[in-house]
Structure 1
Amino acid sequence: MHTAWDTIGDGEFFCPACGGDRNYQRLTGRRRFVVLGMPLVPRGCAGPVIRCTACQDLFDPDVLDHPTTTRLSAMLRDAVHTVVLAVLSTGGTGSRSTLDTAVATLRAAGHDDCTEERLVALVDALAADTGRATEPDCGPGLAIELHEALGPLAPHLAPAGREALLLQGARIALADGPYTPAERDVLSTAGCALTICSEDVARLLVAARTPS
């Protein structure tokens, strides 16, 4: 059996065989039965498949569901940013220690230009835009933002990575003292969006109180 492949598309993907971002070709094929070395009798279509241009391995199209390393890094930066803003939206901008922890967390995540002033202005603008300042806890708008930012990322993070993201938010909440009910509500919503069960969320909120 011989398969003649045609290229119908290309792009960049995360190659499981190479272990990194590579270019790919999307292929469809036509199978022919080989007689004396000559492909003669049609035997139907093959594919589509994804071929890595580096290692030449073939994969099912669902390999493209995995984000590239570059895209995954961007998703993680956005997720940290969303969690930080969510925690601060519960009233954390009034505490210098909370703001210091939030800025340090964002800079470590790749937001190098983050400052306290910019962070406060952004939280205030979001509160004015959504009416969040009048919400006593994690309102529907904030919950949607958390699920939109964290939901697509969660399947691509190991359990330790999802827990680390939640712990970052928890440590910001604890920077000015014990959790408030609003902070617990926001962190529980973030944990749900990260597909962390409620028992593990409770465990992590306790663990965040212990200095590392």
Structure 2
Amino acid sequence: MYAREPRGRSLCVIGIRTSWRTVDDGEFFCTTCGGDRNYRRRTGRRRVVLLGLPLLPRGAVAPVVECSACHAHFGTEALDHPTTTRLSAMLRDAVHTVALAVLAAGGTEARPVRQAAVGAVRAAGYADCDEDQLLDLIAALAADTGRLPGIGGGDAPAVFFGLGDPSTTLAIELHEALEPLAPHLAPTGRESVLLQGARIALADGAYCPAERAVLETVGRALSLDPDDTARLLLAASHAAS
């Protein structure tokens, strides 16, 4: 209901107003701003207002995530999307795990394979990685020592290869590193991760059965269709020959 003022402006006599309360804050990826921003997670309650004064409660509203920069409101599922910083770290760790898995499957005797693995890991973000570090990791895996030291310093991830069948434990590690990442990558991004592993495997010639098995596991963990995985591996093989 509105009352007409002499100057033609509408004065709200009665209406609904939502009062918000901040219950949490942090950093998230704001799709409106297109980057990492601070957020406030807020809960609200509706009230009937009369002449600007709150009267009767009308119940709670769904919690929202409010961007501190643009003030847009999102559902709390917006917090499930990793920040740009977190996504970069997940991608870096994924490439690291794929490189280790391919090396473990195909062996480290050929220097071109080691160099390809080092190049992939460095490009992913571990600029200090070298052949010795990767060889130490593979040696630890072969010795079945359990938790392996990270590469590139103290901020690098530890990689765990448990006891039992190596192919089973490698598959578990690949799924743990790749499955959380897959929903946040475009198809070309997921294909790129697979192709980085393929180029490592092909650095010393055709895929061996163990390398192909690892790369097929990578494809499944990245939610790629098996036919697409086979097509990509074949295309990589033709490009390398």
Q: TM-score range by the shorter chain?
A: over 0.9
Q: Distance in 1 between matches of 2:142 and 2:20?
A: 54
Residue type matched to 1:8 in 2?
A: V
Match of 1:197 among 225, 229, 239: 225
Partner of 2:87: 72
Residue type matched to 1:169 in 2?
A: G
Q: Distance in 1 between matches of 2:51 and 2:81?
A: 42
1:143-182 CA-to-partner distances (Å, cap 9, x unmatched) read 0000000000000000000000000000100000100000
Partner of 2:58: 43
Q: Is the 8 A contact 2:49 2:56 kept in 1?
A: yes
Aligned to 2:108, what secondary structure does the other structure show? helix
Partner of 1:173: 201
RCO comparison, higher one (Cα < 8 Å, 6+) = 1
Shift, 1:91, TM fit: 3.1
| Structural mapping, 1:6-85, within 5 Å | 6-85=21-100
Partner of 2:210: 182
Counting aligned pairs with the same residue, the percent is: 62
Residue type matched to 1:107 in 2?
A: R
The runs of at least 4 aligned residues of structure 1 exceeding 4 Å deviation read: none
Q: Is the 8 A contact 1:174 1:209 kept in 2?
A: yes
Shift, 1:92, TM fit: 2.8
1:69-123 CA-to-partner distances (Å, cap 9, x unmatched) read 0000000000000000000001331110101111111111111111111111111
Gap regions ≥5 residues in structure 2: 1-15, 147-160
Residue type matched to 1:112 in 2?
A: A
Shift, 1:67, TM fit: 0.2
Partner of 1:150: 178
Partner of 1:114: 129
TM-score (norm 1): 0.94
Q: Is the 8 A contact 1:31 1:42 kept in 2?
A: yes
Q: Distance in 2 between matches of 1:55 and 1:204?
A: 41
Aligned to 1:210, what secondary structure does the other structure show? helix
Partner of 1:211: 239
Partner of 1:102: 117
Q: Is the 8 A contact 1:92 1:99 kept in 2?
A: no
Residue type matched to 1:183 in 2?
A: E
Q: Distance in 1 between matches of 2:83 and 2:238?
A: 35
Shift, 1:127, TM fit: 2.2
Q: Is the 8 A contact 2:106 2:208 kept in 1?
A: no
Partner of 1:163: 191
Q: Is the 8 A contact 1:12 1:23 kept in 2?
A: yes
Shift, 1:128, TM fit: 1.5
Q: Is the 8 A contact 1:5 1:30 kept in 2?
A: yes
TM-score (norm 2): 0.83
